[in-house]
Structure 1
Amino acid sequence: MNAKLRLMRSVLEKQQFRFVGEHTAIKICHWTKASLREKGSCYKQRFYGINSHRCVQISPSVGFCQNNCIYCWREIQYSLENTYDKYEKIDEPADIVDRAIAAQKGLLTGFGGNTATQRQKWEESKEPVHFAISLSGEPTMYPKIAELIAEINSRGHSTFLVTNGMLPERLEELRDKGAMPTQLYLSVNATGKEMFDLIEHPLYKDAWERLQRSMDLVRSFRDLTRTVMRITCIKGYNMTDAAGWAAMLERCQPKFLEVKGYTFVGSSTARLTRENSPVHADVGAFAEELQRHSDYRIVDEQPVSRVVLMSQRRWDDQYLDI
C-alpha cells in the first residue's frame, strides 16, 4: 500500500471508518446508534421497513469514484487517482461479509453497557440482516460487486446498492449473473449535461451518456428488483426545471423516487454554503412541483431527514419482511 493510500486510511479511521479489508470498510450509521437508544430511525425504516439497528453501512470501494461531486461529504481528494492495481490483492466477497458482520458486532459492543440502550434491539444488532452498499466511493467499481451481492443475498440478507450510473456494464453484469440487489438506487442529480457536469465534475468524457444508459437499464430492471431514482436537492442548482425532471422520470421509470435535501457537512463545505442546503419545506415544495409535472405522487416523507418518497402508486411490497 502506497503512502497516499495509507494517508487516506488514516484519515478515514479518524472518522470512525473500520476497515475490514484492503479497500473495504464499514461505519456505524448515526441512525443505527439512534435506533439502539430509541431516538429515531433512518428514513429507510419508515419507507421500506429496514430496521436501522440491524443495518451494516459498507463500501467495497473506499477511495474509488469517477465523479467529483460538489455535494459529496466524503474525502474525495483521495478518489481521483485511485485504481485497484495499487492494492496487492482484491478483497473476496465471502471475507467481506464475514468481517463486516464481525466488525459491526464489535463496534456496537459498548452499547450493551449503556442504560439508554434498548436491550432487545442491542441483542438483535449482533445479527445484522441488511447491507447498505453506499458508504463511500462508487461500489460498482469493485470488480466482484456481483459476487458480493450474490454472497449477501445467499445468506438471507437484503442489499441496497447505490450507484452513480457511470458503469452501466456492471449493472448488466448484475442482471446477467442473477445477482440483483434487493433495491437498486440510481443517483440522478441533473436534467441536462450542462448541469450534470457542473454538479458531478465527472472524469469520463462520456459520463452523461453513461448515465442515460444506466437509466434505460433501471427501467428494464423494474420487473427484476426494486428500483429507486434519488435526487440530491441542492438549492440554487437543481431544484428547478420540473418538466425536465418529469422527462427523466419518464425515461427511467423507477418504482420509487426519493427527493432528498443536500446536507452541508464534510468536504462539501469547501464547495457549497449553508444556503445550498434546503430545509424540508423546500424539498417538499420541489416534490409537489414534480408531482404536478409527472405521474409520480408523494406517498411519504421524513422531515428530520429532509426526504420525500414518491411513486406512481402505492405498492403492496413497499415494506420488506426481513
Structure 2
Amino acid sequence: MLCSPHIVDAVDLWHEHRIPILLSTAFILTFLRFYLRLNDAQSEQQKLGDASKRVKKEGGEAREGFKFWSLFSCLTGSTEKIAKQFAGAFKEALTKAKGEQTTFLPPQVLDLSEVDYDEYFISPPKTEGEEKVDYFYLILLPSFNIDSINDTFLEHLQETHHDFRIDTSPLAPILGYSVFGFGDREGWPTEEEGYCFQAKEVDKWMAKLSGRKRAYPLGMGDWKRDGKERLAEWKSGLVDVLGQIEQNGGLGEGIPGSGDPIESDDEELDDDGEVYDESAEQNGKSKSSGDLGDLEDLGQIMAASGNTGKKSSGPIAVDFTTEGKPKRKAAAPAVIKEMVPKGSPTYNSLTKQGYAIVGSHSGVKICRWTKSALRGRGSCYKYSFYGINSHQCMETTPSLSCSNKCVFCWRHGTNPVGTNWRWVVDPPDLIFNGVKENHYKKIKMMRGVPGVRAERFAEAMRIRHCALSLVGEPIFYPHINEFLGMLHKERISSFLVCNAQHPDQLAALQHVTQLYVSIDASNKESLRRIDRPLHRDFWERFNRCLDILRERRFQQRTVFRLTLVKDFNLEDEVEGYADLVQKGLPCFVEIKGVTYCGTSTSSSAGLTMQNVPFYNEVCDFVVALEKALKKRGLNYGIAAEHAHSCCILLASDRFQKEGKWHTRIDYERFFELLEERGPDGEFTPEEYMGPETPEWATWGRGGFDPRDQRVDRKGRPVEVS
C-alpha cells in the first residue's frame, strides 16, 4: 500500500528538524516548571507574611483589651471580701504593666452561687461591643468538707466535659485561666489529706474544658498562715504572664505536658478515657518494670520460660496492650456528706434567719401569717381561697436543696443546690417528728407576745395543715411519699410545691391534698433568666412535668403558681402563659406578685423594689390572662383574691356550681377517701370539693378575713371603708 505524499513529506520534515524541536520542547517545559516553582515560593512567602501579620494583630494592634472574670465562692463572706480586694490590687498592678497596644480592662468580680454556669463554662460570655476582647478566668476557691456551691460547680464542670452534645474543649477560645485555692492546714496538713482539694479539682476540669490553657500554676494558701503572701505571689506571676501574652499574642507552646489536667504520675488514678502522650514516661522505665522492649526480647523470655522445666500446654500469652502500665490503685470510698451539718456556715445562716434545722437536710419555720393569725390580724391567702387556718399551718420542707437559683428566692447563697441527691438521707419518721417538735416550740414562744388570742393559741397546738413550700424542693427528698403518708395518718392536709424540674419524682408522687407547680415564665429564655435552673434540659423537664399534670388532672388537685416579676415575666407573656395553661389544664391558677425580701443577695441577683409589681398591675394581668384563656375555649374564671398577699385565683369551671365558686376543700372527706382507696387510689378533686367560697374572698372584695382586725405597719387599727 502506497503512502500519501503528504505523509512522506511530514516524515522527512520530522527527521530533518527533530533535534531542534525536542530541544525547544525541553526548554519550554523546564522554563514552565521553574516559573511554577517561583510562583509557589512567592505564594508561601505571602502566606507567611499574612500569618505574621495575624500574629502581630493578635498580640497588639487588633486586640482591644483583656477582660478578666474573677470568680469566687464563699459561705461566710470572707472570700468575697478577699476577691474584691484582690480585684482592686490586680487592677493597679495591670495598670502599671500595661503595654502601648493593649488595654487591660478592670476585673469583674462574680459569685459562683449567682452566675449562670452555662453562660460562662459552656462557652465564653458574649459582651456587646467587645468582639475583640480576650477573656481570662481567675478563680478563687476555698475548699469545704461540707456541702456547698463548690460541689454544684464541680458537678457542672464534670457534666460539661462528659456531655457528648458539647465540644470537648468548649472554653478553648478564652485566653487562659488560673485558679487559687484557700485551705486550712490545721484540718488538712497535706494535699493528700485534702488541703485545697476542691481548688485542685476545679483546676483539673478547667484544663480539660479550656484545651489546656492553664496560664499560671495553681496557687494555694492557708487562711490563717500564708494566704495573703501566696495570693500576692500568684498575682505577681499572673501579671508577668499577661505581659508575655501581650508580646507573643498567646500562651505559646510550652514544654510537653504543659496545661495537662493532672500530673502524669496521677493520670492512671483518674482515667476518664482521654489519651495523653505517655512516651516520655514509658521511655524512662527500666526493664525490671515489666517492659517487653522490642520483639527480640521475646526469644529471651521464651528461653527463660523453657528453663523452668515445665512444658507449656499452649502458646505463651503476651499482652501487647498494657505494657508498662502501673496497676490501678483502688479508688477511695466516696464520703457522703450531710447537706446542712451542724455548725456549718449554711446551718448558722439558716438558724439566724429563724429556721429550725431538722436532721441534716430538713427545716421548719414559723410563717409571718401564722404570727399574724395568732394575734387576729389576718390570715394568708390559703384561708381566703381554701379555708386553711394560718395559725394551724406548719411550713416545712424535707429538702432544703433545690435545682434552681430563682432571682426572687429568699435564700440566695444559703440553701444548697444540686441536680441529684448526693447527701445523707434522713429517715422520714425522724423528719416528721422533728418538724412537729420544732414547730410547737416556736408556737410556744409566741405565748408572751402582746395581742395573741388565747383561743387561737390553743388551736395552734394542733397542726391541721402542712405547707411543703418553705424553701428548696420537697419532691427532691427520696422518701417524700412516706413522709406524706405520716402527715395524712395524723389527718394533716398537705400542699406540696415543686419547680417542674423533677418529672420522674412527680410521676411517682402519691396523693397530696393540693399539688402546686411553679410556672415562673412562659418560654425557655425567660425561664432561664428567672429560675436559673441547673439542669441543662430544664425546658424539656418543665414540659414533661406539664404533660404529667395534664394526665393526672382528674387524680390530683393541681395548681399553677405564677410569680410575676416586673421587667422579667410580666410584660407581653400573657399569651405564652395561656398556652401553658392549655397544655397542663390545672384545676387552679394562682397569680402572685413577687415579694421583695430586701437583702443584698437579692439585689446582686438583679432584683430590686422596681421589680415588684403593684396590685393593680397584677389585676390587669389576670384579666388579660382570663381573656386569653376564654379565647382558647378554656373555661376559667376569676374565683377569689387576697389583696394583702397581692394574689388572685383563677379556677376551672369544674369547681363552679350554680354560678358560685367552690374553691375551698373538704379536708375530712379527703382523709376518708385516702382511707377508703389508699394513697394511689382513684378519686377526683371534685369528690373532696368544699363549700362555697365566702363572699368576702371573691373577686372585687379584697379577701381580708372579717373576723380579724387590719392594722398598719405600726400595729394601729385600720378602718376599712
- Structural mapping, 1:20-99, within 5 Å: 20-62=358-400, 64-76=401-413, 78-80=415-417, 84-87=421-424, 90-99=425-434
- Structural mapping, 1:272-291, within 5 Å: 272-291=607-626
Q: 1:306 aligns with which of 646, 658, 662?
A: 646
| Equivalent residue number for residue 584 of structure 2 | 252
- 2:419–2:534 contact (8 Å) kept in structure 1: no
Q: Distance in 1 between matches of 2:559 and 2:418?
A: 29
- Structural mapping, 1:141-160, within 5 Å: 141-160=476-495
Look up the equivalent residue of 1:307 and give its one-letter code.
Answer: C
2:665 is the alignment partner of 1:320: yes
2:594 is the alignment partner of 1:262: yes
Offset at 1:315?
4.2
- Relative to structure 1, the CA distance from residue 182 to residue 3 in structure 2 (aligned partners, 3 Å threshold; closer, same or farther) is closer
Offset at 1:162?
0.2
Q: Deviations over 1:91-141 (max 9, x none)?
A: 222222222111111111132233411111111111101110011111111
Instruction: Flag the structure with larger Rg.
Output: 2
Q: Distance in 1 between matches of 2:459 and 2:408?
A: 34
| Equivalent residue number for residue 190 of structure 1 | 521
- 2:564–2:613 contact (8 Å) kept in structure 1: yes
2:245 is the alignment partner of 1:101: no
What's the secondary structure of 1:198's corresponding residue?
helix
What's the secondary structure of 1:186's corresponding residue?
strand
- 1:49–1:321 contact (8 Å) kept in structure 2: no
- 1:2–1:86 contact (8 Å) kept in structure 2: no
Q: Distance in 2 between matches of 1:114 and 1:36?
A: 10
- Structural mapping, 1:88-237, within 5 Å: 90-174=425-509, 179-237=510-568
- 1:160–1:185 contact (8 Å) kept in structure 2: yes
Q: Which range is displaced more, 265-274 or 149-158?
A: 265-274
Q: Distance in 1 between matches of 2:487 and 2:643?
A: 31
Q: Distance in 2 between matches of 1:77 and 1:10?
A: 9
Q: Deviations over 1:245-289 (max 9, x none)?
A: 111110011100000001111442322121110011111110011
- Relative to structure 1, the CA distance from residue 2 to residue 307 in structure 2 (aligned partners, 3 Å threshold; closer, same or farther) is same
Identity %: 34
What's the secondary structure of 1:108's corresponding residue?
helix
- Relative to structure 1, the CA distance from residue 85 to residue 246 in structure 2 (aligned partners, 3 Å threshold; closer, same or farther) is closer
- Relative to structure 1, the CA distance from residue 17 to residue 211 in structure 2 (aligned partners, 3 Å threshold; closer, same or farther) is same
Look up the equivalent residue of 2:650 and give its one-letter code.
Answer: M
- 2:622–2:648 contact (8 Å) kept in structure 1: yes
What's the secondary structure of 1:238's corresponding residue?
coil
Q: Distance in 2 between matches of 1:251 and 1:198?
A: 22
- 2:487–2:494 contact (8 Å) kept in structure 1: yes
Q: Distance in 2 between matches of 1:217 and 1:82?
A: 20
What's the secondary structure of 1:320's corresponding residue?
coil
Q: Distance in 1 between matches of 2:147 and 2:399?
A: 18
Offset at 1:318?
2.2
Q: Deviations over 1:53-88 (max 9, x none)?
A: 0111001111x111111111113454235965443x
- 1:130–1:158 contact (8 Å) kept in structure 2: yes
What's the secondary structure of 1:31's corresponding residue?
helix
- 1:101–1:127 contact (8 Å) kept in structure 2: no
Q: 1:2 aligns with which of 146, 159, 173?
A: 146
Offset at 1:225?
2.1
Look up the equivalent residue of 1:311 and give its one-letter code.
Answer: A
Q: Distance in 1 between matches of 2:403 and 2:450?
A: 44
Q: Distance in 2 between matches of 1:159 and 1:60?
A: 13
What are the ranges of 5 or more consecutive residues in structure 1 without an aligned counterpart? Answer: none
What's the secondary structure of 1:297's corresponding residue?
strand
- 1:188–1:229 contact (8 Å) kept in structure 2: yes
Q: Distance in 1 between matches of 2:404 and 2:621?
A: 25
Q: Deviations over 1:190-217 (max 9, x none)?
A: 1111111111111111101101010111
TM-score by length of 1: 0.93
Q: Distance in 1 between matches of 2:422 and 2:527?
A: 29
- 2:651–2:663 contact (8 Å) kept in structure 1: no
What's the secondary structure of 1:103's corresponding residue?
helix
| Equivalent residue number for residue 12 of structure 1 | 350
What are the ranges of 5 or more consecutive residues in structure 2 without an aligned counterpart? Answer: 1-144, 149-339, 631-635, 668-721
Q: Distance in 2 between matches of 1:13 and 1:244?
A: 39
- 2:393–2:464 contact (8 Å) kept in structure 1: yes
Look up the equivalent residue of 2:394 and give its one-letter code.
Answer: V
User: RMSD across aligned C-alpha pairs, in angstroms?
Assistant: 1.8
Look up the equivalent residue of 1:318 and give its one-letter code.
Answer: T
- 1:65–1:137 contact (8 Å) kept in structure 2: yes
- 1:23–1:91 contact (8 Å) kept in structure 2: yes
Look up the equivalent residue of 1:15 and give its one-letter code.
Answer: Q
Q: Which range is displaced more, 95-104 or 160-169?
A: 95-104
